[in-house]
Amino acid sequence: MNITSETRVLGIFGDPVRHSLSPVMQNAALQRAGIDAVYLPFRVRSEELAGAVQSLRALNLWGVNVTIPHKEQVLPYLDALDPLAARIGAVNTIVNRDGLLNGFNTDAPGLLASLAEDLAFLPVGRRVLLLGAGGATRAALVALAEAGAVWIGVANRTRVRGEQLVENFRGIFPGTEFAALGLSTAELAGVFPAVDLVINSTSLGLHGEGFDVLPWHRLAPRAVVLDMVYSADTTPLVAMAREHGHRAADGLGMLVGQGEEAFALWTGRRPEPGLMKMVLRDWLGSVTQLDRK
């Protein structure tokens, strides 16, 4: 990589950020496209966020991704919000256009792209159950409702959080029925037979944990499962879903999907199809091999 005074700078703001795979796939896509730019990770603490965002203007950075814990806190420091980002209430991509900072949310289209590519699933007319009630759930809910899901359930250990989440959107999406549930076997068993898609939008499984409350025997054979968590091999939820005969995918496709959308926003070009996913699979595989030695 030949870095000069003309090289554009992209990056990701987060805390922590050293675990991020975005630099791996974004730099590979930039190099393959012959774009003179580099993508770097920046650890930004919450108290430093305002200054970090201002630095985009001062240093003429092309743009950045925004990850935990800044996706919601960054909104007041931006000049404009894409309507989808405003509806979700969170930004994961900032584009610097001549000093004006524009906020976007590519998590939502990234989710839909993963569902279509990895599971051949289209939300229109379908019933979806979301496990969790955090920021990732909010982005998924908006994406699915806008794509035509007729029923969306939010199951969370703290039921009131799910109730608050669905209440925020009942008036916005009148064509979608919403429900809040507790994350218990009994309540899930009541809705599982009619569900077409189950999505884990929590971090559960990141360290090998499994969902022990899911009543798999009640889930219809047609139902598919998406785990937003990803790993080099497979996540416990994906493995369990496949054991019970369901098509399932982990979160790598969503990570790639949101990254491809961000790349297009910054550069005005689409990355080479399949490149980001291939690079990440190879990278994760190499890390796993090193861990086993």
Each residue's pLDDT tens digit in the chain (293 positions)?
788 889 999 999 999 888 889 999 999 999 999 999 999 999 999 999 999 999 999 999 999 999 988 999 999 999 999 999 999 999 999 999 999 999 999 999 999 999 999 999 999 999 999 999 888 899 999 999 999 999 999 999 899 999 999 999 999 999 999 999 999 999 999 999 999 999 999 876 555 667 788 999 999 999 999 999 887 778 999 999 999 999 999 999 999 999 999 999 999 999 999 999 999 999 988 865 444 33
Instruction: Give residues with Cβ within 8 angstroms of 263, minimum separation 6.
Output: 26, 29, 30, 269, 270, 271
Q: Catalytic residues, which ones? A: 71
Q: Across 145-290, where does the E strand assignment appear?
A: 151-156, 177-182, 197-200, 224-227, 248-249
Distances 80 to 3, 94, 157 between C-alpha atoms, Å: 31, 10, 35
Residue 290's Cα: distance from chain center in Å?
A: 27
Q: What are the chain's domains?
A: 8-105+255-292 (3.40.50.10860), 108-250 (3.40.50.720)
Could you tell me the pTM of the whole model? Answer: 0.91
Q: Across the chain, where does the E strand assignment appear?
A: 8-14, 37-43, 63-66, 80-81, 93-97, 100-104, 127-131, 151-156, 177-182, 197-200, 224-227, 248-249
Give the HSE-up count for residue 1: Cα atoms under 13 Å, Cβ half-sphere.
17
pLDDT for res 293: 30
Question: How far is residue 148's CA from residue 57's CA, in Å, rounded to a whole number?
Answer: 38
Q: Does a cis peptide bond (omega within 30 degrees of 0) precede residue 271?
A: no
